[in-house]
Structure 1
Amino acid sequence: MSNVSLIDGGVTAPNGFSSSGIHCGVKHRRKDLALLFSSSECSAAALYTTNRAKAAPLMVTQSHLTDGRANGAVISSGYANALTGERGLRDAEEMARVAGKVLGCDPRSIVVATTGVIGEYLPMDKIVGGIEKAGGALGTTKKHARDSALAIMTTDTVPKMAAASVALADGTKVTLGGMAKGSGMISPELKKSHATMLCFITTDAAASPKALELMLASAADETLNMLNVDGDRSTNDMCVIFANGAANNSKIADCDPIFLEALKTLLQSLTKQLARDGEGAKKMIEAKIIGAGNLKEARVAARAVVMSNLVKAAVFGEDPNFGRIISAIGASGAELNLAKIELRLVSEYGIAELMSKGELVALVGNRTYARARQLLKSNQITIEVDLGTGGNAEATAWGCDLTYDYVKINAEYTT
């Protein structure tokens, strides 16, 4: 049985981490700059967007993390610092230099992240002053964690943060904390060395950079990489984990199943929070696929459901037009057996069987159709599909509905 517990808190929950979030003037009123810091050097690992038009801070961070060591991060929201050429690289390095000076550590031990409008140069006078201000505001409370989560937001409407604790095999209790942002341009595909999804994870566990990299990649494949809001992959997507060893556990040198489970639990919480707060979203969609021939096909099918604009629009309109779900899965290339496929809808209002042995049973005007409409009034919808192949692979993906507000937000993003 799992001994992982989700607890109250964010990036400051593990021992030895402090953070801050302040307003430096990049945005009109809201917080727009965050610092994350461990006075003890951390093992670190990161996953980056597969978008080939990578932003300057990602390239700088990749360079800084080649040795798998770090002390913290500086994050600015408002401008992405993407497609900004050599000046963008210089500005990202300058952010690290100033943060290193303020925090008393090597600038190369600083992760740099930015998020916002693509193509604009950073207002470095404001950001430099903001880093200095944020350095004086560092603290270890939940409020400090929340302030930093607020400061990295762009079109997000709520901060995303989570924390978890677990006892390792040697009996040591370790804590993990996290914060994330992202409402639009969300369809991450995070891999080793490759409006934005940013995620920062802290832990007081002792672990090697190699172990962190292995476990982060595994956990992200089941969580962040199964998230979709609008099918667009950002230039700035990044997920970083810092482990400072303050818990004094036996050092994790390889993939540790207990720590991995805790990391997955933490990331799943953040993933669901991101899905709920998709741009303009009213409803979260969870797609559960079972009966797939292999894990790859299960994941492909699950993502196909949450990526379908037709499915997303139907959920928004509370319209049980669920032939769209099977159509999306069929177009994904995942193997299915139409003679045995099963489809059901689950929400707080109950369960409705929509398809049995390859035939839709929720037809306009019948009782099942009316039941499905009632279930769709919930703000959290689970779509369960058994592909009927006889396989036992399964996967879950998360997304949100497609609303009028999504179009409005993105039609007026810079104006």
Structure 2
Amino acid sequence: MADWQEITGGITAPKGYRAAGITAGLKPSGLPDLALIVSDVEAIAAGVFTTSQVKAACVDYCRQRLQAKQSARAILCNAGQANAATGSQGIKDAEESADLLAKELNISPESILLASTGVIGRRIKMDALRNGIPKLVASLTDAGSDAAAGAIITTDLVTKSIALETTIGDRPVRIGGIAKGSGMIHPNMATMLAFVTCDAAVSPHLWQQMLTRAADRSFNSITVDGDTSTNDSLLALANGQSRTPAITEVGAESEKLEAMLTAVCQHLAKAIARDGEGATCLIEVQVTGAHDEQAARQIAKTIAGSSLVKSAIFGRDPNWGRIAAAAGRAGVPFEQENLQIQLGNFLLLDNGQPLPFDRAAASAYLKQAATGAYLQQDTVLISVNVGNGHGTGKAWGCDLSYDYVKINAEYTT
């Protein structure tokens, strides 16, 4: 049983945080497009970013900030323009964004982290941003999580938010998070943004290690379409306002906090995969029997990312051969005679041997998942065992529908 409980409040559930989201005129749709998260005090900061060689200005900016100073007070996010592949002017725009916000908040620009999302190759609409920042700061509230969550999305159909609470040192400790992402999603980060707040006191080194491991077990284990973005950013703040003793070394308290951080990240990651562009269901792949966790996750990610597997699930076709083929090309050695594949409660392959199964019932299982979209009952579970090893891993994805092509064919038009 989890050693925490879900609470309301999102990123403003932890003590000492305010947030806001407004319409600044960055999106042509007129929808909210500028978000801000602020800690009342300087917070320990950590980040995980895209592995793409083509990176947005905000990614380079944040990496440099976190290398120089592992703390921050604020996260500013604009939606509408990715500010990626925008050359030296894009970098200047990012720096000006931080300077403008710093003056409005009366803090140092070095305490500000940035994120952007939208169309690659387009600079931030700086006139709209300059006019919007005073309004944004004026809108800050300790109940502003939903507004911020709504201002960071692009093609998302739903906002993504979570907050959990546990007890450390007889005091409540909370972690909250919001995220965006729907397309251009693939392991090693994706076109996704995620912001996490925590009110525990943690050493910078431990907080970064926790976040990196949590990312591997969540955002780096989801895929929608196999495309890694230029802007992927996971930023996490820990401000110590819970007044619990500082966690400075690995132990029971650090493990408890990391488990809750991972749960927050996994909730947000699954919400992104569930909201995949054109998706009708969430796919969860569980792999056991590998030689270690990394190998198990690699197999799971390959299966979840297979276009053939995803297409079969959209067509409600229990074609286990595609699952076997994806597992086999994952780059992880295993003996074929040990392979076991299960779809929901249907055992399809055992010890490398095909088994008779009720194809109509298995297809009905896939159809049932499609009708449960956004009701947390929309998960297609694929279980794969590859041997007797101790490694286990999970990955999440979604089916591949006709609408995915339509959405992306018309993205900039």
TM-score computed with the length of structure 1 as normaliser: 0.94
Counterpart position of 1:82: 84
Counterpart position of 1:40: 41
Counterpart position of 1:134: 136
Q: Which runs of 5+ in 2 are unaligned?
A: 370-377
Mean alpha-carbon deviation: is it higher for 292-301 or for 320-329?
Answer: 292-301
| Percent identity between the two aligned chains | 42
Alpha-carbon separation, structure 1, partners of 2:385 and 2:6: 30
Counterpart position of 2:373: none
Q: Which runs of 5+ in 1 are unaligned?
A: none
Alpha-carbon separation, structure 1, partners of 2:79 and 2:109: 20
Shift of 1:296: 2.0
Alpha-carbon separation, structure 1, partners of 2:299 and 2:314: 21
Alpha-carbon separation, structure 1, partners of 2:388 and 2:58: 46
What secondary structure is seen at the aligned counterpart in 1 of 2:184?
Answer: coil
Query: Residue 145 in 1 paired to residue 135 in 2?
Result: no
Contact 1:354 / 1:368 at 8 angstroms: preserved in 2?
no
Contact 1:294 / 1:393 at 8 angstroms: preserved in 2?
yes
Aligned residue pairs: how many? 399
Contact 2:57 / 2:90 at 8 angstroms: preserved in 1?
yes
Mean alpha-carbon deviation: is it higher for 23-32 or for 175-184?
Answer: 23-32
Give 2:163's aligned amino acid: A
Contact 1:282 / 1:316 at 8 angstroms: preserved in 2?
yes
Query: Residue 177 in 1 paired to residue 176 in 2?
Result: yes
Contact 2:337 / 2:352 at 8 angstroms: preserved in 1?
yes
Counterpart position of 1:296: 294
- Taking only aligned residues, the RMSD between alpha carbons, in angstroms, comes to 1.2
Shift of 1:127: 1.1
TM-score computed with the length of structure 2 as normaliser: 0.94
What secondary structure is seen at the aligned counterpart in 2 of 1:285?
Answer: strand
Query: C-alpha offsets along residues 243-294 of structure 1, whole Å, 9 cap, x if unaligned?
Result: 1110111111134101001101111111111110011111100000011122
Query: C-alpha offsets along residues 22-71 of structure 1, whole Å, 9 cap, x if unaligned?
Result: 00111122100001101211111111111111110111112222210100
Shift of 1:321: 1.2
Contact 2:21 / 2:36 at 8 angstroms: preserved in 1?
yes
Shift of 1:327: 0.2
Query: Residue 187 in 1 paired to residue 181 in 2?
Result: no
Give 2:14's aligned amino acid: P
Contact 1:20 / 1:145 at 8 angstroms: preserved in 2?
yes
Query: Residue 59 in 1 paired to residue 57 in 2?
Result: no
Alpha-carbon separation, structure 2, partners of 1:369 and 1:7: 41
Query: C-alpha offsets along residues 190-221 of structure 1, whole Å, 9 cap, x if unaligned?
Result: 5xxxx821110001111121111010011111
Query: Residue 17 in 1 paired to residue 17 in 2?
Result: yes
Counterpart position of 2:5: 5
Alpha-carbon separation, structure 2, partners of 1:103 and 1:243: 19
Correspondent of 1:198 among 161, 172, 193: 193
Alpha-carbon separation, structure 2, partners of 1:165 and 1:31: 29
Counterpart position of 2:167: 167
Contact 2:339 / 2:384 at 8 angstroms: preserved in 1?
yes
Give 1:370's aligned amino acid: A
Within a 5 Å distance, the mapping from 1:340-355 to structure 2 comes to 340-346=338-344, 351-355=345-349
What secondary structure is seen at the aligned counterpart in 1 of 2:316?
Answer: coil
Counterpart position of 1:224: 219
Counterpart position of 1:124: 126
Give 1:153's aligned amino acid: I
Contact 1:353 / 1:368 at 8 angstroms: preserved in 2?
no
Give 1:21's aligned amino acid: G
Alpha-carbon separation, structure 2, partners of 1:2 and 1:155: 33
Alpha-carbon separation, structure 2, partners of 1:206 and 1:294: 31
Contact 2:187 / 2:301 at 8 angstroms: preserved in 1?
no
Shift of 1:113: 0.6
Correspondent of 2:352 among 350, 354, 358: 358
Counterpart position of 1:401: 399
Counterpart position of 1:49: 50
